Structure 1
Amino acid sequence: MTSKRNVLLLGALGVLLILVASSRTWVNGTVGDAVLQNAQLSVSGSKASPAGVAAALVGAAAIVVAVTTGRVARWVAAVLALLSGLLALGGAIWLVQNPSAAVRSRAASVTGRTGHVAVHTSLTFWVWIGVFGGVLLTMAGALCIAGVRQWSGLSSAYDAPATAKVARVSDWDRLSVGDDPTADDDDEA
């Protein structure tokens, strides 16, 4: 379960769900205000929980780093992947517990006034998709931490080839590496 492939797939699915859900409406609300006069407002996931999108992107990068780098960077990236999953999940859960705050904030930005505004809210199913994406990203981060000891970096197939010692190096090759062959001729004369 802690293979690199499983972690990548689980993390990618979690990030995809968070990003797609964040672009949709998470909260619908009715604002009872003299200016708005019972206006219907909707708040997208990216506005209601802005940390979710950022956490998803950081989590995606951290998982890629965790499965491709050396041991020390792998540990740091695995911890970042877990923390980003927890941040995305926490932001979505906070919204589920307090949806009126997001609608109040949206109403305040529309009217330009501060203070308490009476709102009536309802959650859409997209918020639950965001919560599920946060759960998957958190699980991917936890699996990352669990698998870090077993994983190795990329194979040596991706390393630069070792340079072999050549008996005779042409002047062109010397010039390519920054060694001026004409400078040697001036010293000899």
Structure 2
Amino acid sequence: MKRLLLLTLIANLVLVSCDSDKPYEVTPDSVGPLTKNTTLDELKTIFENDSVVDQNSGLSEELNVNAIEIYEKGGAQLLSLMPVKDSQPKTIRTVQIFDERYTTQEGINLNSTFKDISDAYEISRIETLISSVVVFVDEINAYFTIDRKELAGELRFDMDAKVSQAEIPDSAKIKYFMIGW
């Protein structure tokens, strides 16, 4: 009986230490402790040591226009979550990452460059917007926004130009890092 209790205690310690070793890991199915199946009701428990700011109420909840923001105690924003509008229970559709500690298994985070992304993953597609370029990496359900200011010459100002992977400088910095499920 004592041996069984000791084994159970050791197994629980191992599981708890594994979970706490990677609280900022980004995978195709998770961002830290969040998964694509995490419900909004679970957020207060998951981030019990942080602040969960849910701006969805009344009309804004029906229109799904406000995100749920997660702040670390002390005020730094960690994440911004956009719920799935029509799911029951409500789950998370997209996660915007604000903290550079959130890192993929290949070492990509907010401090990475376009070269880091293209060396680590296959770029699925690139969409050109008015003030930015969005780089999609389907392998990890991620997309990275790069400001047009990072582009060379006329690509900065030609809003109609379609930007290719070869035209994005290796040193271009990530402006936004998002996961979409």
TM-score (norm 2): 0.21
The structure with the largest strand share of the pair is 2
Higher relative contact order (CA 8 A, sep 6+): 1
